[in-house]
Structure 1
Amino acid sequence: MTTKYIRIVGGSYRRTPIAVIDAPGLRPTPDRVRETLYNWLGHFWQGEFADKRVLDLFAGTGALGLEAASRGAREVLLVETDRRAVAALRALRQKLGAQAVRVHPGDALAALRGAAGYDLVLLDPPFRQGWLERLWPLLPGALAPAGLVYAESEAPLAAPPGFTLLRQDKAGAVHYHLFQFAASQN
């Protein structure tokens, strides 16, 4: 069996290959989509990633979160349940010497309940399992004021209460969105 690879598309780790393990529900975000997301973030953050804290709740290959680390994010927490994926993430973090990256083996809901002050939460959960509906109510407690949420889904998403849809697009069967939390809304 041939190992599939994707690559980090920008920043100091640019062109680093990431092996894609064979795991149920794992859908690595395509290069073009990650590039679009990080162009959006560069615009909203004026290209400044150094003070940002990022939480990748369904890390899988780690590509989404590692793109943030590659661009200089202060802290990136990769949360993943699959043991093989966790081992691969830890090995890649070690290979890159990515000091800003931490790998947390565990459940997304539990990790989100204990999270606070994140500038960006990345959500690329397995489709058709109701993950986004369970996560949205917990996101306000995890986000910094005006924090951003990136979400991938099988269908277009409307902004939940307290959030504003900033950008959305579609690549193949995947819809992707960038939302902003409005901390001042009650």
Structure 2
Amino acid sequence: MRIIAGTRRGHRIAAPKGRDTRPTSDRVRENAFNLIGPVDDADVLDLFAGSGAMGLEALSRGAASATFVESDREACRTINANLDKLKLGAGVLCQDVLRAVTSERRTYDLVLCDPPYGYDHTRLTPYLARLVGDDGLLVYESSGREDPPEVPGLDLRTSRRYGSARLTLFDR
């Protein structure tokens, strides 16, 4: 895996070992950021961060800050190693995502959410809108075989399939 664009373009990033995480492919990440548009000075929240690829891409493209939330300890170590390698600063919360979103009080310009395929979206989606700031955006990655999730309080912008992945964007 590599960073697609921005100040760290072309740099390779590590993925956690094992089958517990499913890193977003370069192709899906590139298409996601084509849909997202500029992220200059954005505050980013990366939920189910895995390798951190999506949040790292946002930082490389000019985001002001990023917070990564991931429950798997090996994945958290990988995110920290990627941040060190790329010389980027960010916060990494190694805790259950549902617990993190229910206790989070901040809002973000860009929320990236990539739960495991087959995850029960209804457990999480009621809490996502309050994390998205005014004029903010939620990018929700799910299985291409699933219908796009509904997120109360946010407006559906678009939903597109890329192979086995679906990207659904919601606006505040």
Tell me whether the two structures share a fold, i.e. TM-score over 0.5.
yes
RMSD, matched Cα: 1.5
Q: Deviations over 1:39-70 (max 9, x none)?
A: 1221xxxx3511x1111110101101111110
Structure 2: which amino acid aligns with 1:166?
R
Amino acid at match of 2:82: L
Which residue of structure 2 aligns with residue 105 of structure 1? 94
Match status 1:139 vs 2:108: no
C-alpha distance in structure 2 between counterparts of 1:67 and 1:151, whole Å = 16
Which runs of no fewer than 5 residues in structure 1 stay unpaired? Answer: 1-5, 182-186
The AA in structure 2 aligned to 1:55 is L
**Is 1:28–2:23 an aligned residue pair?**
yes
| Correspondence for 1:162 among 153, 157, 162 | 153
What SS does the corresponding residue of 2:138 show, helix, strand or coil? Answer: strand
1:7-37 deviation per Cα after TM superposition (whole angstroms, max 9, x unaligned): 1111111111112223344111111111111
Is 1:172 paired with 2:167?
no
Asked if 1:18 is matched to 2:13, the reply is yes
The count of corresponding residues between Structure 1 and Structure 2 is: 169
Question: Alpha carbons of 1:54 and 1:48: their partners in 2 closer, same or farther (altered >3 Å)?
Answer: closer
CA distance in 1, matches of 2:139, 2:62: 18
Partner amino acid, structure 2, of 1:82: D
Q: Deviation at 1:158?
A: 5.0
Where in structure 2 are there 5+ consecutive unaligned residues?
none
TM-score by length of 1: 0.84
Q: Does 1:8 align with 2:3?
A: yes
| Displacement of 1:80 | 1.0
* Identical columns (%): 40
Distance in structure 2 (CA, Å) of the matches to 1:139 and 1:146: 14
* Structure label with greater radius of gyration: 1
**Residue 53 (structure 1) aligned with residue 47 (structure 2):** no
Q: Give the match for residue 128 of structure 1.
A: 118
User: Partner letter of residue 112 of structure 1?
Assistant: V
Partner of 2:78: 88
Q: Which residue of 127, 130, 138 maps to 1:149?
A: 138
Is the Cα contact below 8 Å between 1:58 and 1:108 reproduced in 2? yes
Taking the aligned partners of 1:161 and 1:90, their CA distance within structure 2 comes to 33
Aligned twin of 1:118: 108
